[in-house]
Chain A
Amino acid sequence: MVTSNTTAGYGAPRDAAVPRYSTRIAKIVNSSLYRHTLGAAVESRWGRLILLAGVPLVWLIALHIGPIYQMLKISLLSHYPVQPGVDSQFTLANYRLFFSESLYFSPLIKSFIFATVATASTLIVVYPVAYYVAKVVRPEGRSKALLLLLVPFWAGELIRTFSVIMLLANRGAVNVLLREIGLIDRPIPMLYTSFSLGFGLVYLICLYMLLPLYSAIEKIPTQYLDAAADLGAGPFTRFRKIILPLSKDGIVSGCCLVFLTCIGVFATPMMLGGPNTVLFPETISGFFHGASDKWPVGAAFALIMLVTALIAAGIFMRLVGGRKRSAI
């Protein structure tokens, strides 16, 4: 370690060809402020460890786990925010409330049905597209073909949802077009129904399906397909026996991603859904914007949703049996 005062230390200019910024770094490194703080810290093993792990661990524990933990804690309280004179005690009543009223129960069921249908539709719609880009397009054109698919996703969630209204409204493009060519006299009410909500959801989330599918399909060696074709397998057999099993990974991660996003979607049902499509997130949000001491109920409901969604995703993973990938 060259950190003594007599030698110039790291990065000192040895000849004129050394770029200027390196002397600036040397100046910082050799300054007494640096040597007494960071410089001293990295000298010892513990100092290095604290420097490396301190901030990340505090952040991860406080802000990645903290909020969920607080939510769990509050969901078990009878009152929150605590008001003077009211005693808040430990209770399971908030969870019991969920199972006692179909008013609360049915939005969750609806949320699950919507998310499942949207996930399945997205998979069916997106799969051929992902396959086309990964295997049919020549490698040089691949990134361009992919880029074209990404463009709409630089528009935000809200703008994309809003643009669906243009298509489906009573005087939107579809209805006007159908009337022009004389197929209908009266507009078909499409907006503010389950259809518009489903359409909007698929429109919103297809990218989350596309990217995992694409990267999984792209990895399938083309020789496998050629070999299968040489041995007489038709397109359908090749798809069923080779492509589908080998892209299972992408299907699993894409479906889980889409499903979890769909479950937690909040603005889309409020913009595209109608009175019949009150989903669970809207129910939960009511507890936070209405009367103030309903927070524990909202927290309990949010946890119920989180746990059931994760369990559903877990069951799906187990059933389809994607290859266990190590996270790191």
Chain B
Amino acid sequence: MRNMFADAPRASLTAAYWAFILYLLLPLTLMMAMSFKGANYIAFPIGEWTFDWYVQVMQDKQFLDACLYSIMIAAATTVAATTLGTWIAMLIVAEGIRGQVVIFAIACLPAVVPGMISAISLRIFISTIDMPTGTMAIILGHTVHAVPFVVVMALTRLRTMPGNLVDAARDLGADSVVAFFRVTLPYLWPALFGGMIFCVLLSIDDFVRTFFLGGYRPTLPMLIFAKVQGGMSPEINAMATLVLVVTAAVGLYAEYMTRRARTR
């Protein structure tokens, strides 16, 4: 009898967990299921099932172009944000530099400022430096957004690094540049890999910055937003499902890789 009472909180917690999982997965599952609906409006029950929407989406030039554009922006953002984030992290952990707390706070600022405000301030900023809206502005905005996350991830890893590794390299004749590339960077790599995947997902996902900084060429979220505003059909579901499957695969792969790096 006592055992049953002791287990009651445990059972309800388990139930809460699975209910939450259901809550998380149900809308996405419904969204994916709807992409197979054989009619051009969104409504349950699905009735007739079809694959036509996927065929249509795969031939949709606008969609493919948006994919390409999003990937390009994500790649540029990732390279820029990883480089800058690592550099800033190196500055923060460097010996003999004062004001590290201030530098860290400034580095994290874009992660704390709400997305909308960050987007507007960047829109104003690019106009004051006479930069036109468009690809470069989007990449700049996404990079500003992604840098804090790289900084934090790199810092976490740098803190666990034995200080004598770099000293050893220096003793063996490496100057600080070589020591960074041969010792620190390889040590940082697992964290940077995770950070890079995070940058890609952040950039592909970002709507509000792209909305304010973008030109006429839509990125994926812009395209989906425009379609949702312009009248919904299962075509959007097919697009969203494709994007979802790809990004989830990237996320899972990253998770797998970081876990493997951790256990090795």
Q: Which residue of chain B has its CB nearest to the CB of A59?
A: B84
Interface contact A149-B24, CB-CB below 8 Å: yes
Whether, in the assembled complex, A184 has its beta carbon less than 8 Å from a beta carbon of chain B, the answer is: no
Whether, in the assembled complex, B134 has its beta carbon less than 8 Å from a beta carbon of chain A, the answer is: no
Whether, in the assembled complex, B161 has its beta carbon less than 8 Å from a beta carbon of chain A, the answer is: no
Interface contact A132-B14, CB-CB below 8 Å: yes
Knowing A10-B178, A136-B13, A305-B114, the reply to whether A173 touches B104 (Cβ < 8 A) is: no
Q: Which residue of chain B has its CB nearest to the CB of A115?
A: B114
Residues 143-179 of chain B: 1 if any A CB is under 8 Å from the residue's CB, otherwise 0?
A: 1100100000001000000000000000011111110
Knowing A56-B88, A154-B251, the reply to whether A266 touches B20 (Cβ < 8 A) is: no
Residues 57-76 of chain A: 1 if any B CB is under 8 Å from the residue's CB, otherwise 0?
A: 10111011111101100100
Interface contact A158-B124, CB-CB below 8 Å: no
* Interface of chain B residues 103 through 129 with chain A (CB within 8 A): 103-110, 112-125, 127-128
Contact of A64 among B34, B120, B144, B250 (CB under 8 A): B144
**In the complex, how many residue pairs between chain A and chain B have their CB atoms under 8 Å apart?**
272
Residues 84-113 of chain B: 1 if any A CB is under 8 Å from the residue's CB, otherwise 0?
A: 100110111010010011011111111011
Total interface residues on A, CB under 8 Å, equals 95
* B27: A residues at CB distance < 8 A: 160, 163-164, 166-167, 203
| CA–CA, A170 and B173, complex, Å | 71
Contact of A306 among B42, B113, B221 (CB under 8 A): B113
Partner-contacting stretch, out of A83-91, A256-264, A315-323: A256-264
* A109: B residues at CB distance < 8 A: none
Knowing A56-B87, A65-B109, A302-B121, the reply to whether A171 touches B244 (Cβ < 8 A) is: no
* B120: A residues at CB distance < 8 A: 71, 284-285, 288, 298-299, 302
| CA–CA, A188 and B143, complex, Å | 43
The B interface, classified by DSSP as helix, strand, loop or mixed, is helix
Knowing A266-B115, A302-B116, the reply to whether A52 touches B251 (Cβ < 8 A) is: no
Interface contact B109-A64, CB-CB below 8 Å: yes
Whether, in the assembled complex, B52 has its beta carbon less than 8 Å from a beta carbon of chain A, the answer is: no
A81, A133, A159, A271, most chain B CB atoms within 10 A: A159
* A3: B residues at CB distance < 8 A: 175
How many Å from the CB of B43 to the closest CB on chain A? 4
Interface size class of B (residues with CB under 8 A): 35 or more
Interface contact B122-A81, CB-CB below 8 Å: no
Residues 1-16 of chain A: 1 if any B CB is under 8 Å from the residue's CB, otherwise 0?
A: 1110000011100000
Interface contact B14-A166, CB-CB below 8 Å: no
Whether, in the assembled complex, B17 has its beta carbon less than 8 Å from a beta carbon of chain A, the answer is: yes
Knowing A10-B172, A149-B21, the reply to whether A157 touches B121 (Cβ < 8 A) is: no
Chain B: residues with CB nearer than 8 A to chain A?
A: 9-10, 12-14, 16-17, 20-21, 23-28, 30-31, 34, 42-45, 84, 87-88, 90-92, 94, 97, 100-101, 103-110, 112-125, 127-128, 140, 143-144, 147, 155, 172-178, 181-182, 201, 204-205, 207-208, 211-212, 220-221, 224-225, 228-229, 232, 236-237, 240, 243-244, 247-248, 250-252, 255, 259
The contact sample of 11 A-B pairs, CB cut-off 8 A, is: A55-B84, A63-B144, A143-B259, A149-B20, A151-B24, A158-B225, A169-B43, A172-B30, A266-B207, A302-B117, A302-B120
